[in-house]
Structure 1
Amino acid sequence: MHEDTRASDDQAFINSQKHRHGAATAYQNGDREKALELLILADKIRPNNPAVMGNILFISLETGATKTAKAIAEKYATLGMIPPQRLLTQLYDGIPETDRRAFEKAYTAINAQIGTAEIEYAVPDSLKLIEGIAYHPNNQTFYVSSVVSKGIYKIENDQVSPLIEGDEHQYGSFFGLDIDPENTFLYATFATIDHTPNMNGKPKRTGVLKIDIDSEKIIQTWTLNDSANSQVADLVITNNGQIFLSNSQGKAVYEIKGDQLVKRFKHSGFMSPQGLAKTNDGNLILADYGRGLWHLDTSTQNITLIETSENLSLIGLDGLKASSNRLVATQNGIQPARVIEIELDTNSKKVVSSTIIAKNLAAFDEPTLFDIHNNTVFMIANSQWPKYQKGGILKDKQVQKPTYILKMKLK
């Protein structure tokens, strides 16, 4: 496992994190000005991070640094993002009327809907916090995974039936799903997290299941040894049958080798590995919620942070798939959430272009994972993550609604 990313990227990340931690300490000690100074340095070193930008906006408004607040608000607009609502209210209260109107106009434009999609199916509201989806093209069947209901469910002929029932197992919650190229086996990642209900006193496990699609029986289970500090999040199956898994808490990527989960990629700069996609040349692209995209060379084990433009933020990427010569990703870590297409250069080391293909669709709240078949995206549009708290309990005044599977044609 080699860390072959550009040295300047590594050092920028280290320095930025150092300034962020320093800012947190300064703020806790009551030194708002020092905290703001360090956050501005962090943003300059490693720009376009929504968390850093939000903290700058918060403290600049708190300290009356209106010029800095306006500059960050303009940066949000340039990146096609909107500050969180609580910060937006503070911003409008802390700037002149003419500036407020200008930002309202800019953010209204950013909030406009882009793209169209059809509702393919509404998963009943009795199934809670749906995260993952896989589509079986031969029999036109969907499989969806649940975090709170703790099951995997089959949707066939507009009927839902359990493949794995919630409390009948000790796997916890289910996340990423994928079907092998022969359409024979369904693979599902599992883990126990804070949102998993009724797991007190039970050992934490995380790994992946192999399920025979015809018999609907579990064929094999792979579990990480260090499950207490890990969460296997998503997976990808390559055309030659290799299976790679992301470990969001353990900050690594594993491969299934026989009966073992073998660590293939580990990097000190990984923050929260999520979706995985395969490239045409047999390598991998990893979506990192806190960093953007990484190129993982399966032959050399080299790891490279993919370069982006100054007016693009790839923070908050979740689901990731390859389609033809492009990547498709859900980006739910920024506002408004969106689905984007990303074109990389011939070496898959630099973003050539990024296009929003879906944003603010009527069904959206927090889109998560998706599957692609015949240039058609099938997506979990409203996972409803923000409604839930620890233990899989709905927050006050929140109501679980049906979860929509959206169907969207790629151009």
Structure 2
Amino acid sequence: MQAFFRLRREAATAVRTGDASLARTKITEALALMPTHPGVLLSAARLTARQDPAAAVELLHRYASLGLILDITTDEALSPLAQRLDFAPVAERLAANRKPIGQLAPIASLGGAPLAESVAYDPKRKRLLISQVHGRKILAIGADGTASDFIPTADDLWSVFGIVAEPKSRTLWALTSAADQARDLAPTAKGSNALLRIDLDTGEIMARYGAPFDGAKRQLGDLTVATDGTVYASNSLGGEIWRLRPGGQDLDLLVRSDEIGSAQGLAVSPDGSALMVADYPSGLHRIDLTTAEVTPVALPTDLSLTGADGVLRDGQTLIVVQNGVTPQRVLRLSISRDGRRVTRGEVIAANLPDLDEPTGGVMHGRHFIFVARSQWSDFGPNGQPREGLSPAKVMSLRIAP
């Protein structure tokens, strides 16, 4: 992926310096490396539209085949293509891509500015646990809908990101990081990250495993737990995967890869041999847990996983929340036995009013319960909430067997 990122940068530089020919060359080379990248497809179409309109229309056809939407009438470079006869099928496909898919059932609405991130389920007490990035706490929602603090805001609890419950051991694993969006965060906490082991019955923090202060940009955001008890955590500000082995006293680094720009959700493969990790700018990767080799997962020609965030294994498939494309959506992926390619991608939720920066969730029976509206879009570049933000929402999506 390093070559891909480099070519995109070189194309952007060529555009700024007015070298359209070089920009087209570089973006075409980038597209050859990632043929289903939405942003690169659109960039290539814009750079090609005037010189070769038919080729630009074909690029837009490839974009539309990914199930994405686009209004080219507001795009100065692309809008002239709307008058072409060969654009009519593309327009039809783009319109069809706006059709609502799936149905969400409401679970919880969180007022104020919690900035919800992840959901776990405690079957013993029949309650959901919801982590908060701005609110800096973990909320419990009982079976009767009653909300209470499972872990209240505290000085040593920063933004709470990924959470995973282990009901048998009565453990809740949680990642806490000193994010810019955290409310009332002490300046001395900047750069802090930790994995917490929490008593699922009492909410007491039983152990804290910190990430090193070594100058690297780091925000531990997503985690998963393997069947052997190993906890894996991803760094959303880079290509790191950290690990806590059973009985371990410290986090150790499994992978630091330049092939991954922003590690997000992750899940252990069914056979336990690999991690499947979403990279926000480039899609899905497979990490061999024996060799730590990082390999991009091959995709069908009609699927893009750019902007993938939450990842959850459901038997032999993956549930993926993709909030970095339009429309934002939830996918179900079938993966080859060796974990090296997606054999089928199915959109199971899209174009629904309550899908707004969706993030992570948990399977409860055959329902995916997840943060459908997180409030990330309601926070400004200064990390603080804008006025008049709507509630965060947790929703349920039925997953077919």
Superposed pair shares fold, TM > 0.5: yes
Displacement after TM superposition at 1:44 (Å): 2.2
State the percentage of identical aligned residues.
Answer: 25
Contact 1:152 1:174 in 2 (8 A): yes
RMSD: 2.4
1:339·1:358 contact (CA, 8 Å) conserved in 2? Answer: yes
**Which residue of structure 1 aligns with residue 396 of structure 2?**
407
Partner of 2:124: 138
Aligned counterpart, 1:189: 175
Deviations 1:59-102 (A, max 9, x none): 456x676445433322211111124x688544664334355765
2:249 pairs, out of 251, 259, 264, with 259
**Within 5 Å, which residues of 2 pair with 1:54-203?**
54-60=42-48, 66-83=53-70, 88-90=74-76, 93-97=79-83, 102-122=89-109, 124-156=110-142, 157-166=144-153, 168-182=154-168, 184-199=170-185, 201-202=187-188, 203=190
Alignment of 1:235-314 (within 5 A): 235-257=223-245, 258-283=248-273, 284-314=275-305
CA contact under 8 A between 1:171 and 1:205: conserved in structure 2?
Answer: no
Q: Distance in 2 between matches of 1:354 and 1:93?
A: 30
Q: Partners in 2 of 1:128 and 1:58 — Cα distance?
A: 39
C-alpha separation in 1, matches of 2:167 and 2:276? 19
Unaligned runs of at least 5 residues, structure 2? none
Superposed CA deviations along residues 240-279 of structure 1, whole A, max 9, x for unmatched, are 2111111122411111142200111232311211111122
Task: Supply the distance in 2 between the matched residues of 1:89 and 1:117 (Cα, whole angstroms).
Answer: 32
Query: How far apart are 1:150 and its partner, in Å?
Result: 2.1
Q: 1:249 to 1:316 in 2, by over 3 A?
A: same
Supply the AA of the counterpart residue of 1:159.
Answer: T
Residue identity in the other structure for 2:270 = N
Q: Counterparts of 1:282 and 1:251 in 2: how far apart (Å)?
A: 21
Cα gap change, 1:188 to 1:22, in 2 (>3 Å): same
Q: Is 1:370–2:355 an aligned residue pair?
A: no
Superposed CA deviations along residues 107-164 of structure 1, whole A, max 9, x for unmatched, are 2210111112211222x22143211111112222111112222222111231222233
Aligned length: 393
Query: Among 321, 328, 351, which residue is 2:312 paired with?
Result: 321
Task: Report the CA distance between 1:371 and its aligned residue.
Answer: 0.4
Q: Deviations over 1:353-377 (max 9, x none)?
A: 1111111223111211010122221
Amino acid at match of 1:403: A
Secondary structure at the counterpart of residue 18 of structure 1: helix
For the 8 Å contact 1:273–1:289, the answer to whether it is kept is yes
**Could you state the TM-score of these two structures normalised by the residue count of structure 1?**
0.88
In structure 2, what residue type is equivalent to 1:24?
Answer: A
- 1:334 aligned to 309, 325, 332, which one? 325
What is the deviation of 1:46? 2.3
Alignment partners' CA distance in 1, 2:305 and 2:260: 14
Distance 1:143 1:383 in 2: 14
Within the candidate set 9, 21, 28, 2:16 is matched to 28
1: CA distance, partners of 2:206 / 2:162: 17
Alpha-carbon separation, structure 2, partners of 1:52 and 1:198 = 39
Q: How many Å separate the matches in 2 of 1:101 and 1:394?
A: 42
Contact 2:238 2:261 in 1 (8 A): no
Conserved 8 A contact 1:209-1:221:
yes
CA change 1:227–1:394 in 2 (3 A) is farther
Q: Determine if contact 1:194/1:390 at 8 Å carries over to the other structure.
A: no
Mean CA deviation greater in 98-107 or 151-160: 98-107
CA distance, structure 1, for counterparts of residue 221 and residue 289 of structure 2: 20
Aligned-partner SS, 2:373: coil
Q: Are 1:345 and 2:336 matched, yes or no?
A: yes
Alpha carbons of structure 1 residues 66 and 368: separation in structure 2 relative to 1, 3 Å: same
Change (3 A) 1:173 1:64: farther
Q: Structure 1 or 2: larger helix share? A: 1
Shift of 1:177: 0.7
The equivalent of 1:4 in structure 2 is none
